[in-house]
Amino acid sequence: MEGEKNAGIQFFEGIKAGFPSPAQDCFESGIDLNRVLVKNPSSTFMARVSGDSMQDAGIRDGDILIIDKSIEPRNGAIAVCYVDGEFTLKTIKKDGDIIWLVPANVNYKPLKVTAKNDFMIWGMVTYTIAKRF
């Protein structure tokens, strides 16, 4: 909340994804997730995912997205797009002058953006925060 100081979350450096290692004095004093995850604070927003169209990209219903509106859209990146009055989360695929919004779930079809659509790439996803349990 505005005006509150970040108390910091205790941070443990060096969790190995291979063989276990001793935890010898690996704790740092704390971590400020805003400093780690947000490069451009004035243009960054968070949003909660609703739906399963990006599940095969590891983004599931209920996950939290960190979205930066200042990042230039690029082919193959995941973006929050505004299409005909609704927001959607998809991978951007540019094919010449044509833009496709591609889901990461075989149950959904790609959406071809045409001149008839009210369309805007609203922001680029920089991180997802997932709850797995």
Look at 30 and 130; give whichever has higher pLDDT. Answer: 130
Q: Which of 42, 53, 70, 109 is catalytic?
A: 53
Which listed CATH number (3.30.70.1350, 2.10.109.10, 3.40.1280.10, 3.40.50.150) goes with 40-129?
2.10.109.10
- The distance in angstroms from the start CA to the end CA of the chain is 26
pLDDT of 10 reads: 58
Residue spans of the domains in the chain: they are 40-129
69 is catalytic: no
Q: Compute the C-alpha angle 66/85/129, nearest 5°.
A: 15
pTM for the full predicted model: 0.78
- Which pLDDT band, with edges at 50, 70 and 90, does 1 fall under? very low
pLDDT at 116 over 80: yes
Q: Which of 69, 70, 90, 109 is catalytic?
A: 90
43 is catalytic: no
